Amino acid sequence: MHKVTLARTQIGPLLDQLIHELDAEGCATQRAYFARIRGRLNGAHDEWELATPIIELTSSPAIGFQLSQTADAILRRILQKAAPMIQDLEGVIPDIH
């Protein structure tokens, strides 16, 4: 549970900031994508459930969203915070639908 709490406290506020920025910029698709990840992060109760939003975050650059400089800077900060969490989650098999 400690890893879930840590992820929420370190990444959650940055995700909120990114979602707010994307909303202000009128980027509905990107906002919805990151809001879904935020919801999964909030709903995670253990490492199994935490793996999915962390993996989705770290693979988000591959989607190819065009982000403003501000949104891109926030996302880069989120990815920096998420990088050590990926290493901690190695071997955890996420439930991806």
Confidence label for 86 from pLDDT (cuts 50, 70 and 90)? confident
Q: What is the pLDDT of residues 1-60, one digit of tens each?
A: 588 888 899 999 999 999 999 999 999 999 999 999 999 999 999 888 888 999 899 889
The pTM score is: 0.85
Q: What is the largest CA-CA distance in the chain?
A: 38
Mean pLDDT of the residues in the chain: 88
Residue 33's contacts (CB-CB under 8 Å, 6 or more residues apart) are 60, 63, 65
Domain ranges across the chain: 2-88
What span, in angstroms and rounded, lies between the C-alpha atoms of 71 and 21? 6
